[in-house]
A and B are shown apart, each in its own frame.
Chain A
């Protein structure tokens, strides 16, 4: 409750947990159903013709409905990446881990996920291997729960 901080000032410590419960909605439900079957879907904009993944109800730029669903492949290319080596609240796995932008084949935007399946102790080695355009493919969890982490990570070809 009340205590002195490092500067010697009196502070009141409290903690709050506020529970929320979010509606997933039709579009996400359909996208996650695809994930359960190891399929990644995007939707195509009738106006700008962009294919965006995860699937959307509407094009965020053109502001028109996106009714056309496109099944994308399970593969793509690295666009950029970073290695996280510190702990933060809500992180997906223990550090070190790599997150990145992946350009999934047949899509026009970048998909954010983990890149993994190899040893991460040598940053210089990773920097030599992982370039823009490095091919990756999705590695799926055996048991799927219908969420974004049904994909375990994207594994680079060099790690095979």
Chain B
């Protein structure tokens, strides 16, 4: 289906509080790194795709105009793709379909966020429709609190067990982030630290949630010809799947989410994966909230419904487990929203090409990258592999 497409260059900024430089300079840092990584000149890039969260959050509407030079987009084909939290994976999809269509050989996609320049809480409230759900939306944590409660009640998962498993995820991810040079939160935590951190919205505690980060990520997609020409190791796109759900919260089931499971199933189908737990070597779920991460493991078929907490406590998804999830430390430790899901793709591309440094999962050949947006309204999955 379409032409073969591969990731051939990756650039990331250091993430965190980047108030020492302007937003365009932050974007340029990622773009330069990706171009250097691919061994290209900016002139080689035929098309540029950019995206972030709604950019007025950070004070400049349609900020792709402002970033034209920083993106290296002047004189080039350009489009902006943006789908809330899934922006990063949607960017990867635009790059993928563009190259797969045969309309370009080299497309660079760039996602970014500079959360310290705005008040994301104030902006996120405007995601909800003002006639009905806006007053009740206590930001993202409130909604994820309902979903986690729904999940525990539905499968009779004891609260204690869910709490322990969530804490385990947080501890593992924070430890992994210490090995990730770009990560924002770099802090060793104990189970006790997580379980006694302040409650935001019951049962979600501070260390169950992600920070607000500044950062950018650029990924270059290339055709088979481009890969041959460059003679470099590439991560091939093996499968893609994306689903968006009904808008009004309460219409569709977002715990046993048809959209999350179908997005994964579509990607598995294309990649020829039938048993994800054994066939995948590494996964990067989009995990801003520990409780939601557990639910996603079930949606993606990493374990049976209602079993995520047990499997986490057995170490199935931790370092050295059957399927190491979030070796980068994940969104839980770095949350530059518009770049976040693209960083998942970048991390998997690094893992399957053996370039993930200290956090390399041994022998990883096939990996799973995920993007999540709109309070589990949107799920996108991209599977990348070492072999075409």
Q: Do A and B bind each other?
A: yes
| Residue in contact with A14 in the complex, picked from B59, B134, B138, B249, CB distance below 8 Å | B59
Name the A residues within 8 Å of B136 (CB-CB): 92, 99, 112-114
Any chain B CB within 8 A of the CB of A52? yes
Q: Are A88 and B121 in contact (CB under 8 A)?
A: yes
Q: Could you tell me the distance in whole angstroms from the C-beta of B364 to the nearest C-beta in chain A? A: 37
Q: Mark A1-20, 1 if CB is under 8 A from B, else 0.
A: 00001010101001010100
| Residue in contact with A88 in the complex, picked from B125, B246, B250, CB distance below 8 Å | B125
Instruction: Give the complex CA separation of A92 and B130 in angstroms.
Output: 12
A-B contact count, CB below 8 Å?
Answer: 99
Any chain A CB within 8 A of the CB of B1? no
Instruction: Give the complex CA separation of A19 and B133 in angstroms.
Output: 20
Q: Mark A46-61, 1 if CB is under 8 A from B, else 0.
A: 0000001010000011
Instruction: Give the complex CA separation of A88 and B134 in angstroms.
Output: 12
Nearest chain-B residue to A133 (Cβ)?
B153
Any chain A CB within 8 A of the CB of B66? no
A82 and B131 in contact (CB under 8 A), knowing A5-B19, A60-B251, A91-B138? no
Any chain B CB within 8 A of the CB of A143? no
Name the B residues within 8 Å of A14 (CB-CB): 59
Instruction: Give the complex CA separation of A14 and B59 in angstroms.
Output: 9
Any chain B CB within 8 A of the CB of A125? no
Any chain B CB within 8 A of the CB of A73? no
Q: Are A82 and B135 in contact (CB under 8 A)?
A: no
A149 and B135 in contact (CB under 8 A), knowing A85-B199, A89-B125? yes
A82 and B251 in contact (CB under 8 A), knowing A88-B138, A112-B132, A132-B153? no
Majority secondary structure of chain A interface residues (helix, strand, loop or mixed): mixed
Q: Are B149 and A148 in contact (CB under 8 A)?
A: no
Q: Could you tell me the distance in whole angstroms from the C-beta of A152 to the nearest C-beta in chain B? A: 12
A82 and B248 in contact (CB under 8 A), knowing A91-B138, A99-B138? no
Q: Could you tell me the distance in whole angstroms from the C-beta of B368 to the nearest C-beta in chain A? A: 27
Any chain A CB within 8 A of the CB of B65? no
What is the number of residues of chain A that contact chain B, defined by CB distance less than 8 Å?
A: 42
Q: Are B149 and A80 in contact (CB under 8 A)?
A: yes
Any chain A CB within 8 A of the CB of B139? yes
A81 and B251 in contact (CB under 8 A), knowing A16-B59, A88-B125, A88-B138? no
A80 and B125 in contact (CB under 8 A), knowing A7-B17, A148-B132? no
Q: Are B20 and A82 in contact (CB under 8 A)?
A: no
9 smallest CB-CB distances across A and B, nearest first, come from A110-B250, A92-B135, A82-B145, A9-B19, A60-B246, A90-B125, A80-B149, A99-B136, A84-B138
9 A-B pairs in the complex with CB atoms less than 8 angstroms apart: A11-B19, A18-B56, A52-B251, A82-B138, A84-B142, A90-B122, A91-B135, A99-B142, A112-B133
- A residues bordering B, Cβ < 8 Å? 5, 7, 9, 11, 14, 16, 18, 22, 24, 28, 52, 54, 60-61, 79-86, 88-92, 99-101, 109-114, 123, 131-132, 147-149
